[in-house]
Chains A and B, each alone.
Chain A
């Protein structure tokens, strides 16, 4: 199988099984691109998320493009982006007429309620993994806790939160250089 085909299949799967937004995608992303294919490292994934948050566009698409550009350049980036939007295109257009009827169907509604809860459990597991990886010192714990408080209790936007963390990094850099 050619490298492009592999990229297409990986991102197609991610697009097909993501329910919600970019962050709900992270567990699938980890499984498919880090653990199975070893395309990128966990650190790289986190960097792509922080950059994908601050660059224009949908986070899921941005992260997919960053990753696939790293794997296979511009061609890879185009293939991955096509692959990740492909399930959406097909499913939405096939179902557009029936979507409202489906949403009223009780069995479908229960299945989706189950999926939403499943995604929460997957996200919690993801946070545990990320904390093990990123919070290495008290300084990192400080960044995590302060950003979390700003997000949850002061309604800071994600972009502002990333900028503040970047600011903390810059000030640490200059403080250590002076010492």
Chain B
């Protein structure tokens, strides 16, 4: 059982290219293949993973593993998920060292950097569409952004501040 859990999450870590949300279709496949958790439970897991601290993909693996086989299940599933990352990233890092001075590689990286800025903006737009439901929320986002822009304090400070403001303003 634990071996199977490790194997399935290792596979997800190996084939889910593009981050946390990409693991969702893989997890749905698991509901069809095993009776570890149902599709209904999975929807709850997704909601919970998005609102607890930590990367969404890691949260989901921990939650799914825990539901299936308790504490050890949670640990096994999470390690299965991150193991391919460590191995592949270390290999790519080594390759990168050899290629860093190559003119063509430099040109590619220079073109990708503005694309990453676009990806970050897209993440913001998606989040905006999901969470901004009234005018109060728009005003809150804009005023908080201005605060961040002019007083560059730690992001942790702003996250705690938004939690308190969320309660006070009944957002």
| A positions within 8 Å CB-CB of B | 13, 15-28, 31, 43, 46-47, 49-62, 65-66, 69-70, 74, 77-78, 81, 84-85, 87-89, 91-93, 95-96, 99-100, 103, 107, 110-128, 130-131, 133-135, 140-141, 143-144, 147-148, 151-152, 157-159, 161-162, 164-166, 168-170, 172-173
* Interfacial chain A residues near B13, Cβ < 8 Å: 56-58
Contacts of B107 in A (CB 8 A): 169-170, 172-173
Given contacts A50-B112, A89-B78, A91-B52, 15 further A-B pairs with CB under 8 A are: A18-B55, A56-B84, A59-B18, A59-B19, A61-B58, A61-B82, A81-B86, A85-B55, A88-B59, A93-B66, A96-B63, A114-B166, A116-B131, A121-B142, A173-B104
Answer whether A89 and B74 are a contact pair too, CB < 8 Å, given A57-B82, A81-B82: yes
Known: A66-B93, A110-B167. Is A50-B55 also a contact (CB below 8 A)?
Answer: no
Could you tell me if B158 and A121 are in contact, using CB atoms closer than 8 angstroms? Answer: yes
Closest to A88 in B: B54
Q: Which among A56, A81, A110 is the interface contact of B171 at CB below 8 angstroms?
A: A110
Tell me if B's interface is mostly helix, strand, loop or mixed: helix
In the complex, A19→B148 CA distance in Å? 17
Q: Does B85 contact A (CB under 8 A)?
A: yes
List the A residue with the shortest CB-CB distance to B163: A111
Residue contact A20 to B56, C-beta cutoff 8 Å: yes
Interfacial residues of chain B within 71-85, with CB under 8 A of chain A in the complex:
71, 74-75, 78, 81-82, 84-85
Which residues of chain A come closer than 8 Å to B51, judged between CB atoms?
A: 19, 103, 112, 115
Would you call B92 and A55 a contact (CB within 8 A)?
A: yes
| Contact count A vs B, C-beta below 8 Å | 354
Can you report 27 A-B residue pairs in the complex whose CB atoms are below 8 A from each other?
A17-B155, A23-B123, A31-B156, A51-B89, A51-B96, A56-B16, A56-B85, A57-B17, A61-B57, A65-B85, A65-B86, A85-B78, A87-B53, A88-B54, A92-B59, A93-B74, A96-B67, A114-B166, A116-B127, A117-B171, A118-B162, A120-B132, A121-B141, A140-B110, A147-B119, A158-B119, A161-B119
Q: Is the CB of A121 within 8 A of B144?
A: yes
Report whether B148 and A122 are in contact in the complex, using a CB–CB cutoff of 8 Å: yes
What's the minimum C-beta distance from B160 to chain A, rounded to whole angstroms? 9
What A residues does B18 contact at CB under 8 A?
53, 59, 157-159
Which B-chain residue is minimally distant from A168 (CB atoms)? B111
For this complex, into which size category does the number of interface residues on chain B fall? 35 or more
Indicate whether A125 sits within 8 Å of B148 (C-beta atoms), given known contacts A56-B85, A118-B162.
Answer: yes
Q: Which of B89, B96, B127 contacts A123 (CB 8 A)?
A: B127
The 5 closest A-B pairs by CB, nearest first: A114-B166, A118-B162, A169-B111, A57-B85, A88-B54
- Chain B nearest CB from A53 CB (Å) reads 6
Given A47-B109, A77-B86, A88-B53: A24 touches B123 (CB 8 Å cut-off)? yes
